[in-house]
């Protein structure tokens, strides 16, 4: 299984989603190649914990690549990783949005007494902590391959509909926020300053994030804890999710909506207002 | 139908003052360990606004199953835990409505020490629900 909904384990877990280890970075990424019959994945990973690295090097633990597509597969990797991973195209379809994750499993009983990298909470307990063979010791971030998500920044589409009842109507499509417009005049494409359209983009993102909150919040507080949610099935929501995660945003609610938009759009509104100011000063 | 759900915006502020408040503790804020027949859990709420000026909270415990999904039924506390001690007050916590009641918070931190029943499954993964 893929660990994307995080929980509290009864022992220390090495993962960015846990603070058990003081240095908890366990990142991996995949680079995809293909030949006629196979997908070829180049796996890269960074394990910040010396304790974990030693276990892997000594063979007391193993690194496993989990692939969740139509079925689940797990492939034990050498450590350090040397070989690329080949997966037959007949076994996996990128259309099915496969998810990938690296996990670390114990090969024998592991004691934490000599683990100097745990946080202070474990100081008084760690000499007594041990986990059995095949226990999960750590997990990485999750990577998704989606042939439809070519560029996560392609968040917007513009569509002219002359029969529209209003000058602008924003709709949320399957993979983009659509700015529907009645007439070329309402957009600023002819002025050569794309930033002038940012106001519409802002409105669009706001709508999309409000729907995001309604869909994924815990309903009681209207708050989404991003680390805690599963990766959405919806493509547009996945793009928003990735944008937020990549910018280090932890929670989304109605109160921090504007801050989140500002962060994920790299200050879109100031760019809009600067463009107006430039036009104004050009005129004069 | 999609149109409808998009348009019916919730009232942004009016919703929020309802009591009680209930939220999932981000696992990064919780440390948990089992040693023999004891389980130790500590919470650090530093930096969250939800528990400002609040002295205690109630705790519900939900289980994540083998497929990574949250089970419908929460952990039945009375069937698994003998005694829950509040580490700050050293008093035993009341267990009521399947919640551990009034765990005290000091300097944004809280901790409990649980004496486990013999039949308790030591491999469960939990999601903690905080109610204030």
Contact B112, B100 (CB under 8 A): yes
Better-predicted residue by pLDDT, B10 or A242: A242
Residue A239's pLDDT band, with cuts at 50, 70 and 90, is confident
Alpha-carbon Rg for chain A, nearest whole angstrom, is 23
CB neighbourhood size of B92 (10 A) = 13
Chain B residue with the nearest C-alpha to that of A4: B68
Q: Which residue has the higher pLDDT, A281 or A114?
A: A114
Q: Cα A106 from chain centroid?
A: 27
Confidence bin at A153 (pLDDT 50/70/90): low
Q: Coil, strand or helix: which one is B103?
A: strand
Q: Which of A9, A121, A228 sits opposite B125 (nearest CB)?
A: A9
**pLDDT tens digits, residue range A31-86?**
777 777 888 888 989 999 999 999 999 999 999 999 988 778 899 999 999 888 88
Interface test with B, best of A1, A3, A6, A10 (most B CBs within 10 A): A10
Would the pLDDT of A148 be above 70? no
Query: In this complex, is the C-beta atom of B28 within 8 Å of any C-beta atom belonging to chain A?
Result: yes
- For residue B3, pLDDT over 50 is answered with no
CA distance B50 to chain A (A): 10
> With a threshold of 0.80, does the pTM exceed it?
no
Q: Is the peptide bond before B20 cis (omega within 30 degrees of 0)?
A: yes
Q: Which of chain B's residues have a Cβ under 8 Å away from the Cβ of A211? A: 5-6
CB atoms within 10 A of CB A41: 20
Work out the end-to-end distance of chain B between its first and last CA atoms, rounded to an integer number of angstroms: 35
Three-state DSSP string of chain A: CCCCCCCECCCCCECCCCCCECCCCEEEEEEEEECCCEEEEEEEEEECCHHHHHHHHCCCEEEEEEEECCCEEEEEECCCCCCCEEEECCCCCHHHCCEEEEEEEECCCEECCCCCCECHHHCCCHHHCEECCCCEEEEEEEEECCCCCCCCCCCEEEEECCCCCCCEEEEECCCCEEEEECCHHHCCHHHCCHHHHHHHHHHHHHHHHHHHHHHHCCCCCCEEEHHHCCCCCCHHHHHHHHHHHHCCCCEEECCCHHHHHHHHCCCHHHHHHHHHHHHHHHHC
d(CA A41, CA A66): 13
Which one-letter DSSP state was computed for residue B78? Answer: H
Question: Which among A121, A218, A230 is the nearest to B42, CB-wise?
Answer: A121
Average confidence (pLDDT) over A159-183: 92
- Give ∠ CA A12-B73-B120 in degrees, rounded to 5: 50
For position B12, what pLDDT does the model report?
Answer: 43
Token digits of residue A145: 């391959």
Among residues of chain A, what percentage have pLDDT more than 90? 49
pLDDT at residue A181, rounded to an integer: 92
Element (H, E) at B84: strand B81-86
pLDDT digits (tens, 9 = 90+) for B65-86: 877 788 889 999 999 999 999 9
The verdict on B11 touching A (C-beta cutoff 8 Å) is no
The pLDDT value given to residue B19: 59
Cα-based torsion angle of the residue sequence A181, A185, A190, A191 in order, rounded to the nearest 10 degrees: -120
- Is B16 close to A220, i.e. CB distance below 8 A? no
Please give the structure tokens belonging to residue B95.
Answer: 């267990």
Query: How many CB pairs below 8 Å do chains A and B form together?
Result: 93
Q: How confident is the model at residue B1 (pLDDT cuts 50, 70, 90)?
A: very low
Which pLDDT does position A284 carry in this prediction?
63
What one-character DSSP code corresponds to residue B13? T
Higher-scoring residue by pLDDT: B112, A151: B112
Q: End-to-end CA distance of chain A, in Å?
A: 63
On the question of pLDDT at B5 being above 80, the answer is no
Q: How many helices (H) and strands (E) does chain B have?
A: 2, 9
| Buried/exposed code over A167-203 (b: 16+ C-beta within 10 A; e: otherwise) | ebebbbeebbbbbbbbeeeebbeeeebebbbbbbbbe
Q: Give me chain B's average pLDDT, please.
A: 85
Q: For residue B99, give both structure tokens.
A: 């919640």
Predicted confidence at residue A170, as pLDDT, reads: 95
Out of B9, B22, B67, the one facing A210 most closely (by C-beta) is B9
Res. A224: pLDDT tops 90: yes
B127: which chain A residues are within 8 Å (Cβ-Cβ)? 7-8, 228
Please confirm whether the linkage preceding A93 is cis (ω < 30° from 0). Answer: no
B77's tokens: 């506390």
Contact B9 A5 (CB under 8 A): no
Mean pLDDT value across residues B34-40 = 95
Contact B33 A220 (CB under 8 A): no
Find the mean pLDDT for residues A147-166.
74
Which of B26, B30, B41, B122 is the mutation pick for testing A, counting most A CBs within 10 A? B26
Nearest to B38 by CA among B109, B124, B115, B131: B115
Contacts A19 to B, Cβ<8 Å: 28-29, 31
How far is A82 from chain B, CA to nearest CA, in Å?
A: 30
**Contact B127/A11, CB-based, under 8 Å?**
no
Residues B85-130: tens digit of each pLDDT: 999 999 999 999 999 999 999 999 999 999 999 999 998 999 999 9
Average pLDDT over residues A273-280: 86
* A147 has pLDDT over 60: no
Instruction: Give the residue on B whose Cα is nearest the Cα of A14.
Output: B28
pLDDT above 90 (res A242):
no
Q: Which helix or strand (DSSP H or E) is residue B3 part of?
A: helix B2-7
Among A7, A14, A123, A203, the strongest candidate for a mutation testing the B interface, having the largest count of B CBs within 10 A, is: A7
Distance CA A111, CA B31 (A): 18
Judged by a CB distance cut-off of 8 A, whether residue B126 touches chain A is yes
d(CA B113, CA A74): 37
Q: Is the pLDDT of residue A3 over 60?
A: yes
Contacts of B52 in chain A (CB under 8 A): none
Distance from CA of A184 to the nearest CA of B (A): 25
pLDDT band at A129 (very low <50, low <70, confident <90, very high): very high
Contact B49, B16 (CB under 8 A): no
Q: How many CB atoms lie within 10 A of CB A227?
A: 18
Q: What would the mean pLDDT of A10-22 be, rounded to a whole number?
A: 93
Given pLDDT bands bounded at 50, 70 and 90, which one contains residue A152? very low
Tokens linked to A233:
């099935």
Is pLDDT above 60 for A253? Answer: yes
- pLDDT at A75 (0 to 100): 93
> Given this model, what pLDDT does residue A165 score?
93
């Amino acid at each position: 299984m893929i660990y994307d909904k995080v929980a509290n384990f009864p022992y220390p877990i090495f993962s960015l989603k846990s603070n058990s280890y003081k240095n908890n970075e366990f990142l991996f990424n995949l680079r995809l190649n293909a030949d006629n019959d196979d997908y070829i994945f180049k796996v890269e990973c960074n394990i910040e914990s010396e304790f974990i690295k030693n276990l892997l090097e000594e063979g007391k633990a193993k690194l496993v690549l989990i692939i969740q597509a139509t079925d689940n597969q797990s492939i034990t990797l050498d450590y350090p990783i040397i070989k690329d991973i080949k997966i037959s195209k007949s076994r996996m379809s990128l259309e099915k949005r496969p998810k990938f994750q690296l996990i670390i499993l114990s090969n024998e009983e592991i004691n934490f007494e000599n683990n100097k990298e745990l946080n202070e909470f474990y100081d008084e307990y760690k000499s007594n902590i041990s986990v059995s063979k095949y226990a999960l010791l750590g997990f990485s971030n999750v990577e998704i391959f989606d042939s439809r998500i070519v560029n996560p920044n392609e968040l917007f589409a513009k569509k002219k509909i002359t029969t529209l009842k209003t000058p602008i109507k924003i709709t949320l499509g399957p993979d983009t926020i659509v700015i529907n417009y009645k007439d070329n005049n309402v957009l600023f494409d002819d002025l050569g300053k794309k930033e002038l359209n940012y106001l519409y983009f802002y409105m669009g993102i706001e709508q999309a994030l409000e729907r995001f909150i309604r869909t994924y919040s815990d309903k009681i507080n209207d708050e989404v804890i991003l680390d805690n949610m599963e990766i959405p099935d919806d493509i547009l929501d996945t793009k928003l999710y990735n944008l937020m995660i990549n910018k280090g945003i932890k929670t989304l609610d109605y109160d921090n909506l504007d801050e989140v938009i500002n962060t994920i759009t790299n200050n879109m509104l100031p760019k809009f207002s600067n463009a107006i100011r430039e036009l104004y000063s050009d005129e004069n | 139908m999609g149109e409808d759900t998009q348009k019916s915006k919730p009232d942004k502020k009016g919703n929020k003052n309802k009591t009680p408040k209930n939220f999932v503790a981000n696992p990064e804020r919780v440390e948990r360990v089992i040693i023999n027949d004891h389980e130790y859990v500590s919470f650090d709420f530093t930096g969250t606004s939800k528990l400002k000026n609040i002295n205690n909270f109630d705790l519900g415990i939900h289980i994540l199953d083998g497929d990574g999904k949250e089970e419908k039924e929460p952990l039945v506390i009375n069937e698994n835990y003998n005694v829950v001690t509040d580490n700050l007050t050293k008093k035993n916590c009341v267990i009521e409505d399947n919640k551990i009641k009034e765990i005290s918070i000091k300097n944004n931190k809280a901790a409990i020490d649980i004496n486990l029943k013999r039949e308790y499954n030591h491999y469960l993964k939990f999601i903690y629900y905080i109610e204030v």
